[in-house]
């Protein structure tokens, strides 16, 4: 749903102009990069909760949930503040073309308040999924994004018989207003579900208190996971800056192709998230052989689906791209990128599935150490080398994407296939047993 809303927002922005489409994509890239600070909590809370629940330690799981809420307030607030105060230098750092900057700047600043609400919603949704309440979490997501879609259309393009009697077209800022309102609805629904389904009612102190004991366990998983995500996002932003150097049309081309790619990777992403939750429960229960078989089956299925969906997207590329723009040059360039995606997506599936399995088993540091060099040299350096130095433009950037995903994916699979995650899984079990013996927090 989130990916679908991003596609819809890009379509509405592109309806204004290709420059507005580029500005929408650039502002959202920066916002997503800033939000990675939350991954310190988000990458760890689901795993720690799942392990505690798998071991039957419900009191410890509730304490972790409350701790995640307080940490989300601090990190979400910091992220919002940075987006509000440093929007202009961040966009200039991304080589925003002169015609794009005036549109992207106010949008990024207006997105800032929603980042705090997103942090709360993300942590509360992770708690729901760890409790195997995935359907309820999905219902909240659907409600949020349907509300966003219903609001952003009239707010961005206007509605009513006349401007005086209807809603004026706000353009890109209209999306930010709709986002803020929909996230407020999501928070309200999450609070209701916490009370009804989990028996959790946050107290006033839970919104700001930093509980060191519980957050230490979360940070053990979350810090390496966040470092891996931050390293990837920073390297990816180098590729976006390369596209910005190529001009507004290249930036728009990349933005439109990326919307389709987000739909393609959705299947691998969903598989990876479910693998993380179920493997966490299996590790907590000491069922390591089942966890190993689950990751192998999920990977095979993910690879087949990613190839099929990526090929279908490439074949439908000309039709899909005309939904964003009628510029024949942009359409042709974007279709070329979609064919590169057929090579890219299987490599990405290795990462989405196996890295989440490693993290759920407690083996969170290896993905960072093994992946950082590839992200720096292959993704970031390759984007510059192929895209600018050799003059291959956006196809060169996509070649760097594919090479990085395959290199990291194969390294992750070797780690899993050689069972080097098993000692970390056993260490997680020992920590859970020690916590239970000393008395679980309530």
- Per-residue pLDDT tens digits for 99-113: 889 999 999 999 999
Task: Find the distance separating the first CA and the last CA of the chain, reported in whole Å.
Answer: 35
Q: Is the pLDDT of residue 162 over 50?
A: no
What pLDDT is recorded for position 312?
A: 94
CB 22 within 8 A of CB 98: no
Mean pLDDT of 160-164: 54
d(CA 99, CA 103): 8
Number of H helices, E strands in the chain: 18, 0
Is residue 37 domain-resident? yes
CB 350 within 8 A of CB 357: no
Is residue 332 domain-resident? yes
Domain count, the chain: 1
Is residue 147 domain-resident? yes
Dihedral sign, Cα of residue 309, residue 376, residue 257, residue 134 = positive
What pLDDT is recorded for position 441?
A: 46
User: Tokens 């290896």 appear where?
Assistant: 366
d(CA 19, CA 104): 10
Nearest to 239 by CA among 396, 20, 350: 396
d(CA 218, CA 239): 31
d(CA 19, CA 21): 5
Q: 348: which 2 tokens?
A: 């990405």
Mean pLDDT of 61-81: 88
What pLDDT is recorded for position 177?
A: 93
Q: Among 41-55, 300-314, 401-415, which is the least confidently predicted range?
A: 41-55
Mean pLDDT of 298-315: 92
In what helix (H) or strand (E) does residue 144 lie, and over which residues does it extend?
Answer: helix 134-157
Q: Is the pLDDT of residue 53 over 90?
A: no
Mean pLDDT of 166-179: 86
Phi/psi region, residue 11 (left: phi>0; alpha: psi -120 to 50; beta: rest), is alpha
Q: Is the pLDDT of residue 437 over 70?
A: no
Is residue 172 domain-resident? yes
Is residue 18 domain-resident? yes
Nearest to 137 by CA among 178, 194, 182: 194
The CA-based dihedral angle spanning residues 332, 335, 336, 342, taken in that order and rounded to the nearest 10 degrees: -170
d(CA 104, CA 20): 8
What pLDDT is recorded for position 439?
A: 54
Is residue 146 domain-resident? yes
272-285 pLDDT, tens digit per residue, is 888 888 888 888 88
Q: 349: which 2 tokens?
A: 């599936």
Is residue 442 domain-resident? no
Whole-angstrom CA distances from 227 to 46, 263, 274, 370, 425 are 17, 25, 21, 12, 20
Per-residue pLDDT band for 267 (boundaries 50, 70, 90) equals confident
Q: Is the pLDDT of residue 50 over 70?
A: yes
User: Tokens 């959202």 appear where?
Assistant: 28
Residue ranges making up the domain that contains 80 = 2-437
d(CA 288, CA 393): 46
Q: 42: which 2 tokens?
A: 């988000």
- How many residues appear in the chain? 442
95-150 pLDDT, tens digit per residue, is 888 888 999 999 999 999 999 999 999 889 888 888 888 889 889 999 999 999 89
Nearest to 155 by CA among 8, 2, 326, 258: 8
Mean pLDDT of the chain: 86
Mean pLDDT of 424-442: 67
Is residue 360 domain-resident? yes
Per-residue pLDDT band for 87 (boundaries 50, 70, 90) equals very high
Mean pLDDT of 238-258: 88
């Amino acid at each position: 749903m989130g990916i679908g809303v991003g596609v819809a927002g890009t379509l509405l922005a592109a309806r204004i102009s290709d420059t507005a489409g580029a500005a929408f994509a650039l502002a959202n890239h920066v916002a997503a990069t800033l939000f990675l600070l939350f991954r310190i909590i988000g990458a760890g809370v689901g795993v720690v909760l799942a392990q505690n629940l798998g071991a039957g330690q419900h009191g410890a799981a509730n304490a972790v949930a409350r701790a995640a809420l307080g940490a989300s307030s601090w990190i979400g607030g910091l992220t919002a503040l940075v987006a509000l105060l440093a929007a202009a230098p961040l966009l200039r750092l991304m080589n925003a073309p002169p015609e794009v900057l005036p549109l992207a700047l106010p949008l990024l600043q207006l997105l800032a308040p929603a980042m705090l609400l997103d942090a709360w919603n993300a942590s509360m949704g992770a708690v729901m999924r760890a409790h195997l309440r995935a359907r309820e979490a999905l219902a909240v997501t659907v409600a949020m994004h349907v509300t966003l879609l219903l609001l952003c259309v009239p707010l961005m393009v206007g509605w009513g018989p006349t401007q005086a009697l209807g809603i004026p077209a706000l353009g890109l800022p209209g999306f930010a207003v709709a986002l803020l309102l929909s996230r407020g609805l999501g928070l309200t629904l999450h609070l209701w579900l916490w009370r009804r389904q989990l028996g959790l009612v946050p107290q006033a102190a839970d919104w700001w208190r930093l509980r060191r004991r519980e957050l230490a366990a979360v940070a053990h998983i979350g810090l390496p996971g966040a470092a891996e995500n931050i390293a990837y996002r920073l390297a990816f932003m180098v590729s976006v800056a390369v596209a910005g150097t190529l001009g507004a049309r290249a930036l728009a081309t990349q933005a439109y192709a990326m919307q389709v790619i987000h739909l393609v990777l959705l299947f691998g992403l969903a598989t990876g998230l479910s693998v993380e939750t179920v493997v966490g429960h299996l590790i907590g229960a000491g069922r390591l052989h089942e966890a190993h078989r689950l990751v192998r089956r999920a990977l095979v299925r993910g690879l087949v689906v990613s190839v099929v969906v990526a090929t279908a997207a490439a074949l439908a590329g000309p039709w899909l791209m005309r939904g964003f723009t009628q510029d024949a040059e942009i359409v042709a360039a974007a279709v070329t990128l979609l064919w590169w995606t057929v090579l890219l997506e299987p490599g990405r599936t290795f990462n989405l599935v196996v890295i989440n399995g490693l993290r759920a088993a407690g083996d969170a540091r290896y993905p960072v150490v093994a992946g950082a060099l590839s992200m720096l040299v292959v993704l970031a350096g390759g984007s510059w080398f192929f895209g600018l130095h050799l003059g291959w433009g956006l196809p060169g950037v996509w070649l760097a994407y594919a090479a990085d995903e395959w290199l990291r994916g194969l390294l992750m699979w070797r780690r899993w296939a050689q069972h080097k995650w098993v000692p970390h899984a056993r260490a997680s079990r020992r920590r859970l047993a020690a916590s239970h013996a000393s008395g679980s927090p309530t």
